A and B are shown apart, each in its own frame.
Chain A
Amino acid sequence: MKSLTLIIVSLSIHFVHAQKFTTEKSLIVFYSDASIEDIKAENHQSMSIFDTSTGQIAFSIPIKEFQFEKSLMKEHFNEKYLESEKYPKSTFQGRVEGYQSTLKGQQPVTAIGKLTIHGVTRDVEISGTLEWRDNKIVANSSFKVRLEDYKIKVPQLLWQNIAEEVEVTIDFTYKPL
């Protein structure tokens, strides 16, 4: 009897786990508002998986895919700030809370989990919105990242003033996996 329960439970868990969604379109923008020069970059190459049955979510963001207006900014971003050869990816893994998959329209949600940037992992709580559209899900969020928190150092010699906090905006569309 006990083993039967186990089997049923684990089967049902596996079944529930099949409710996975993956990225169809992704956009991550970061924006640094500084006195000399505003710096903005866009990344369309991020990947994410969202398991609606458990709320588990994971993001993987290739650092080298951030596109800047100036090539030199991109080079400095990769070489000096994010050290992308050492830390090629940023990741987030955690859980989205406070959503109902039956609800129409945008609903406010919170993602709680671990954000890794520049090799430093921190526990974060990020608020955003989810919206079910037909068989797709649209996720939006905007939050601030303090460079110091992730040991991103701005070289003293640099004339470009980089803001201590950068704004990160995400806009993902998910489709069933």
Chain B
Amino acid sequence: MKYLFLILIVCSNDVYAQDDLLNELEQHEAATKDYVTSAFKSTRLVNGQTMETKHKGELEFIFAHRFGAINEGAYELFGLDQAYVRLGLEYGITDRLGVGFGRNSVDKTMDGYIRYKVLAQTKQGMPVTMTAFANAAIRTSPKKEDATFDITLEDRMSYTTQVLIARKFSQALSLQLMPTWVHKNTVDTSIENNDQLALGLGGRLKLSRSIALTSEYYYRFQVPDSNPYFNSLGFGIDIETGGHVFQLVLTNSRGLTERAFITETTGEFFDGDIHMGFNVTRTFQVRRQR
């Protein structure tokens, strides 16, 4: 009887000790910051930016395409006869700081930008990720000799500043707010102002590990009644395959620089001015980790 008792105690103590060991480990573990990653698959949501930055040493090639409007009918093969292209590159200087440039065929615009992740969402404390984004764009069309006035380089410039605030609510759902300020050096003041403010709202709903639905809308503030443009709206499907992300989109915007799609969207989505398009990104690791 006594021995049974002893055996019991030894055994129970052993079992206890085993659980103990893992618990003890947990106590030793340093409380590291647990960052929430991959709120979005790409640095582009539909037309606009996400708060994602490239990792250090990564180079992303972005090939984006927008066809003509679907409501142009069979003659234009529902827009497929026309194409607007943006070719771009983005590089991660650090995990938080990125630079990029590109050229869009809409208005023959060249753009350069910088983004910096100011805040990063963590599991324990920080509820959101916040990235500051700024770009400068030169509209090289029309040519000097074709312009209706004596156009200078300054007239061609526009600048966009954005704060991209996103939260990954769950594995499936991420939402983003994009307060935006677009400044254009030269405008037709009868229809628009030099400084324009907009608030974007976007999100991602993941359907599987590799496929997600995305959406994005930019609301513009204080738009003059005479302004002929519409708010930009877009929907997309993200498909990720290894180093590529394919984004198939439907949007009322043709342009792919902030000036063009936020402040100069010519199509009314619900009248069928919908452009099919895609963004294809390919990421290369230029500088190896370690």
B143 within 8 A of A: no
Q: Please indicate the chain B residues that have their CB under 8 angstroms from the CB of A80 in the complex.
A: 209-210
Shortest distance from the beta carbon of B193 to any chain A beta carbon, whole Å:
41
- Whether A70 pairs with B37 at a CB distance below 8 angstroms is no
B185 within 8 A of A: no
- Whether A6 pairs with B57 at a CB distance below 8 angstroms is no
A57 partner, pick from B21, B26, B243, beta carbons under 8 A: B21
- Whether B24 pairs with A71 at a CB distance below 8 angstroms is no
A48 CA to B210 CA, complexed, in Å: 35
- Whether B22 pairs with A159 at a CB distance below 8 angstroms is no
Interface string of B240-284 (1 = CB under 8 A from A): 111100000000000000000000000000000000000000010
Q: Please indicate the chain A residues that have their CB under 8 angstroms from the CB of B13 in the complex.
A: 10, 13
Q: Across the interface, name the chain A residue whose C-beta is closest to B1.
A: A2
B36 partner, pick from A60, A68, A85, A159, beta carbons under 8 A: A85
A103 within 8 A of B: no
Given contacts A49-B21, A56-B14, A58-B21, contact A70 B289 (CB under 8 A): yes
- Whether A56 pairs with B34 at a CB distance below 8 angstroms is no
Give the segment of B2-10, B65-73, B79-87 that binds chain A: B2-10
A138 within 8 A of B: no
A22 CA to B29 CA, complexed, in Å: 12
A74 CA to B285 CA, complexed, in Å: 12
Q: Across the interface, name the chain B residue whose C-beta is closest to A80.
A: B209
A60 CA to B32 CA, complexed, in Å: 14
A121 within 8 A of B: no
Shortest distance from the beta carbon of B183 to any chain A beta carbon, whole Å:
34
Interface string of B200-244 (1 = CB under 8 A from A): 000000000110000000000000000000000000000111110
A129 within 8 A of B: no
- Whether B25 pairs with A48 at a CB distance below 8 angstroms is yes
Interface centre among B56, B242, B283, B285 (most CB of A within 10 A): B242
B22 partner, pick from A67, A85, A91, beta carbons under 8 A: A91
- Whether A88 pairs with B37 at a CB distance below 8 angstroms is no
- Whether B25 pairs with A49 at a CB distance below 8 angstroms is yes
B38 within 8 A of A: yes
- Whether A93 pairs with B288 at a CB distance below 8 angstroms is no
Shortest distance from the beta carbon of B32 to any chain A beta carbon, whole Å:
8
A37 CA to B10 CA, complexed, in Å: 51
- Whether A47 pairs with B21 at a CB distance below 8 angstroms is no
- Tell me which residues from 10 to 63 in chain B have a Cβ below 8 Å from any Cβ of chain A: 10, 13-14, 17-18, 21-22, 24-26, 28-29, 32, 34, 36-38, 55-58
B141 within 8 A of A: no
A5-B6, A158-B242 given. 4 additional CB < 8 A pairs?
A: A47-B29, A51-B21, A56-B14, A68-B289
Give 25 A-B contacts (CB < 8 Å), ordered by A residue. A2-B5, A6-B5, A6-B6, A9-B10, A10-B9, A10-B13, A13-B13, A49-B21, A56-B18, A56-B21, A58-B21, A58-B24, A59-B25, A60-B29, A62-B32, A68-B289, A70-B288, A70-B289, A71-B58, A72-B285, A75-B38, A85-B123, A91-B22, A93-B21, A157-B241
A interface list, Cβ under 8 A from B: 2, 5-6, 9-10, 13, 17, 22, 47-49, 51, 54, 56-60, 62, 64, 67-72, 74-76, 78-80, 83, 85-86, 88, 91, 93-95, 153, 155, 157-160
